[in-house]
Amino acid sequence: MADLLHRLTPATLHAAADALAAGTLTAAALAEQILARHQAVDGTVRSFLHLDADALRQAAAAADARRAAGRSLGRLDGLPIAIKDNLSVQGERCTCGSQILAGYTAPYDATVIARLRAQGMIPYGRANMDEFAMGSSTEHSAYFATRNPAQLDCVPGGSSGGSAAAVASGQALAALGSDTGGSIRQPAAFCGLVGLKPTYGLVSRFGLVAFASSLDQIGPLTTDVQDAALLLDVIGGHDPSDSTSLPGTAGGCEAALAGADVRGLRLGLPREFFAVEGLAPAVRQAVE
C-alpha cells in the first residue's frame, strides 16, 4: 500500500522546470514516467476516467522540439498537469463524472486551459470526480469510486478526489480541481497535498461546468506551496468571458514566497469543530 503513495522525480513543477532548463530532463521522459506510473497503479487507485497517452506523448515531443529550436514558450513549457473532468478541454470528453454527458466532447478550452497552454503546459487526462461535483468522497462518480493511495480502504475526499489521488500516487506533478464548499481543500488534506481555493473572481470560471456559480472556483492541487503559487500566477487574472472576474491583473504569488516569514501569525481553531461527535482521536491529535 505504501508503494501507491508516491512522488515523481522531480517531485514538483518548479523542480521539473529547473531540470528542463538545465537539460537534465526532457518533457518526453517526464511524460513516459507519468504514463508508466499510470499503467502501474491506476487500476487500483482509479484516479482517471480517461487518459490519452498518445496525445500526451505528442505534446511533450512538441515541447522538446520548441526548446531545442530556441522557441520555448517559457519556463513551464512541456510540464503536464492533470485536469478535473468538469473543465472544458477542446476535443476531449467532459462528463463531470456523469453518464448524462457520456457522449459530450468539449468544443473549446476553458480560460484556465488556454492560459496553461500559453505557457506550454500540457493538460492531460480526465480526473474522476463526484457526479457534477456533488459529493465529498469521489465515491459518487457514475463510473467508479477513486481510492486514497495512502490507505485504499479510505476515500480520497472530493469532489476533486481524482485530481488529488493522481498527484498523491505519482501520476501527476500537479492537477486542477474545482472548489465550491471544500472540493479542493478537503481532498488535498485527505491525500497529503497543498490545495487552494482562490479568492472569488481571481480565476476565471469560463469553461467550468457549474455546480453553484456563486461559489465555484478553479484551483491547484500540488505537492508544495511554491507549486500552488506558481499555478495561481498562470491561471489567475481578469477574463472578459467571465462576468464575475475581478478587474486588473494577477500574479506575483510565487515571487512573494521569497523571504516570506510566518512567525508571529496566529491561527484560529473553532472550538465547535472539536466538539463534533465521532471526531477520530488521530485527527484531533494531528490538528492539535
Q: What are the pLDDT tens digits along the chain (288 aa)?
A: 457 988 999 999 999 999 999 999 999 999 999 999 999 999 999 999 999 999 999 999 999 999 999 999 999 999 999 999 999 999 999 999 999 999 999 999 999 999 999 999 999 999 999 999 999 999 999 999 999 999 999 999 999 999 999 999 999 999 999 999 999 999 999 999 999 999 999 999 999 999 887 789 999 999 999 999 999 999 999 999 999 999 988 889 999 999 888 899 998 989 898 888 888 898 889 888
- What span, in angstroms and rounded, lies between the C-alpha atoms of 238 and 118? 15
Assigned superfamily of 2-259: Amidase signature (AS) domain (3.90.1300.10)
Instruction: Return the pLDDT at 212.
Output: 84
Instruction: Return the pLDDT at 250.
Output: 83
Please, is 197 exposed, middle or buried when counting C-beta atoms within 10 Å of its C-beta (0-12, 13-18, 19+)?
buried
Helix boundaries (H) for 95-201? 111-118, 161-168, 185-191
In the chain, where the domains are located: 2-259
Residue 75, phi-psi category: left (phi > 0), alpha (psi -120 to 50), beta (remainder): alpha
- What span, in angstroms and rounded, lies between the C-alpha atoms of 224 and 272? 29
Instruction: Return the pLDDT at 214.
Output: 79
Name the residue among 233, 176, 170 with its Cα closest to residue 208.
Answer: 176
Name the residue among 11, 5, 4 with its Cα closest to residue 227.
Answer: 11
- What span, in angstroms and rounded, lies between the C-alpha atoms of 86 and 206? 11
Name the catalytic one among 72, 84, 178, 245. 84
Instruction: Return the pLDDT at 249.
Output: 80
244-273 burial string, b = 16+ CB within 10 Å, else e?
ebbeeebeebbeeeeeeeeeeeeeeeeeee
- What span, in angstroms and rounded, lies between the C-alpha atoms of 212 and 216? 6
Instruction: Return the pLDDT at 10.
Output: 96
Our answer to whether residue 197 is catalytic in this structure is no
- Side chain identity at 278, as an amino acid letter? G
Instruction: Return the pLDDT at 142.
Output: 98
Name the catalytic one among 72, 98, 178, 183. 183
Name the catalytic one among 47, 72, 137, 159. 159
Beta bridge partners of 81: 123
Our answer to whether residue 183 is catalytic in this structure is yes
Element (H, E) at 221: strand 217-222
